[in-house]
Amino acid sequence: MRRRGLFVIASLLVVAACGERMIFEASTDPTIAGSAETATTTPATDDTEAPVDVNRPAGTISWSVCPPSVTSIATTPLDCGKLTVPYDYKSDDGRVFTLHLVRRPADDAAARIGSMLVNPGGPGFGGTTIPENAEW
């Protein structure tokens, strides 16, 4: 009986670990809300590397309305865009890749508090589903 109980508990822990629930909440910190600062830093360099121009434009984003998603809870249409960036800003070898971007306007424009950048994408999971289904 004791082994069976341990097996049930272990099985429940494994099943619970497989689930995921993401909840995003707006910050109520007055020092964060409404602040819009541009961060510019000078990257650390050594004597063998040329400094990187941090003010170099990243490119332009061509925004268009995303195709409707059956899983989206957003009440406003999402905007899709693409941004082409170099693999290495220090090299001018011409190698580039394209980032797929999704922009979600505030559901209530009067209550908008600012922008949020989400970058959880990786192998097996695209980050574009987060703005579609975030509850903020």
* Inter-CA distances, 97 with 60, 119, 125, Å: 14, 16, 18
- pLDDT tens column, 95-135: 988 888 888 888 788 988 888 777 776 676 677 777 777 76
CA trace torsion 55, 60, 64, 68 (10° rounding): -60
Closest-CA residue to 131 (of 117, 112, 111, 110): 117
Whole-structure pTM value: 0.49
- pLDDT tens column, 1-13: 677 766 667 665 5
β-partners of residue 85 are 97
Read off φ and ψ for residue 79, nearest 5 degrees: -105, 135
Domain boundaries, the chain: 59-106+116-136
The structure tokens listed for 9 are: 């508990």
Q: Are 136 and 22 within 8 A, CB to CB?
A: no
Rounded CA separation 74/81 (Å): 17
